[in-house]
Chain A
Amino acid sequence: MGLATDNIISGASTEQSDGNIITTTIDKVVNWGRKNSLWPMPFGTACCAIEMMATLASKYDLSRFGSEAIRFSPRQSDLLIVSGRISIKMMPVLKRIYDQMPDPKWVISMGACASCGGVFDTYTLIQGVDQFLPVDVYIPGCPPRPEDLIDAVMQVQRQIQKGELPKGVEAAP
């Protein structure tokens, strides 16, 4: 419990009595649970997806951080990983998938292509998915290494633990 309890009880509003009783706030416990059970929805359309697969596989093993339950159904996931080029024909599909995910939901834009179009400055390629989706964490690189993706997931976890709302919620009126 060591590390985990540290996270829950850190902060002024929590305290630990000398016995086995922990007091905390509901929000903190919920955030702690949420943070350690992110269910990613992979949206791999190009070479970055290969790095994402490596991250999920045994060598880099994203499940060490509680995100091993990859769902190919958006209705069961809360973290969208956009990895790869998105064309103008694909963007409505991606938007629809994002809309189908239940709140609260986070978005990681993985790689140069998803974040800004990368080297593909052409008529058909969306120059950054953040024009149409609220992106929480960007990962630079072409392709980013698995460590970068793990870092981004942990960045999302830190935001959740701090109680920050996802970009998608903040953007709403």
Chain B
Amino acid sequence: MTEEKEITEDTTPLVIQQLREKFADGLLSDAEVNNGVAVVVNKDNLYAILEYLKTDLAYSMLLDITAVDNSNLEEELMKYDYARFMVVYHLYTFEGETPRIRIKVPVNDKDLIVPSIINLWKGANWLERETYDMFGIQFEGHPNLERILMPNEFEGHPLRKDYPLRGRGERERFNFDKQNA
């Protein structure tokens, strides 16, 4: 990309360098710079890292929270201690040279709890509910962690890889009378 630059120069984006300085143990991976900057972080440092990005590095906008189920990707699983899910936070800043950054945190099947970041961004409320609805990730400290897209009676989390595409028959046997009551 940047052929004029010397090869010896550290091309890591500035924001990653700053993160590295402040949270030496918190980062689990080098930055991926294809298609935007992404970095994998430790769950224990997640809140502090997001807070630091928001308050000190001016990443004032939370674009999205979502998750990825890696259970069919042996390669990905091996990298992070067989953590099945990867919760992804997309941030945006209006300043600096790296407008977009993705923060990813591996989450194990046995411990699906991630701290809620509603105190940082109010908009995280519905995004966390959606991630809970679709993947079953629990957000600790969320004031109202209920389903947001699927009906309350729905069982299972449809974006998990072990959930069948055509469902488990909900669409045929859905109980409308109970809903109307």
| Interface residue? A95 (CB, 8 A) | yes
Which residues of B sit under 8 angstroms from A125, Cβ to Cβ? 171
Q: Is the interface of B mostly helix, strand, loop or mixed?
A: loop
| Interface residue? B174 (CB, 8 A) | yes
Contact with A along B139-181 (1 / 0, CB 8 A): 0000000000111001000100001111110111010100110
> Once the chains are docked, how many angstroms separate the CA of A121 from the CA of B172?
12
> Once the chains are docked, how many angstroms separate the CA of A88 from the CA of B168?
13
Determine the interface band of chain B, counting residues with CB < 8 A from chain A: 10 to 19
A72 to chain B, nearest CB (A): 20
- Are A123 and B170 in contact (CB-based, < 8 A)? yes
With CB as the reference atom, state the residue of chain A lying closest to B175. Answer: A92
What number of A-B contacts does a CB cutoff of 8 Å give? 42
- Are A88 and B174 in contact (CB-based, < 8 A)? yes
- Are B180 and A123 in contact (CB-based, < 8 A)? no
With CB as the reference atom, state the residue of chain B lying closest to A94. Answer: B176
Which residues of B sit under 8 angstroms from A60, Cβ to Cβ? none
B96 to chain A, nearest CB (A): 39
Query: Given A88-B171, A88-B174, A127-B171, is A122 in contact with B166 using a C-beta cutoff of 8 Å?
Result: yes
With CB as the reference atom, state the residue of chain B lying closest to A123. Answer: B167
> Once the chains are docked, how many angstroms separate the CA of A95 from the CA of B166?
22
- Are A124 and B180 in contact (CB-based, < 8 A)? no
- Are A122 and B180 in contact (CB-based, < 8 A)? no
Q: What are the 4 A-B residue pairs with the smallest beta carbon separation, nearest first?
A: A123-B167, A92-B179, A89-B151, A88-B174
Query: What 9 additional pairs, Cβ within 8 angstroms, besides A88-B170, A89-B150, A124-B171?
Result: A89-B149, A89-B151, A92-B179, A95-B176, A122-B166, A123-B158, A123-B166, A123-B168, A123-B171
Residue ranges of A at the interface with B (Cβ–Cβ < 8 Å):
88-89, 91-92, 95-96, 121-127, 131-132
- For this complex, 22 residue pairs linking A to B, each with C-beta atoms less than 8 Å apart, are A88-B150, A88-B151, A88-B154, A88-B170, A88-B171, A88-B174, A89-B149, A89-B150, A91-B176, A92-B179, A92-B180, A123-B163, A123-B164, A123-B166, A123-B170, A123-B171, A124-B167, A124-B170, A125-B171, A127-B171, A127-B172, A131-B172
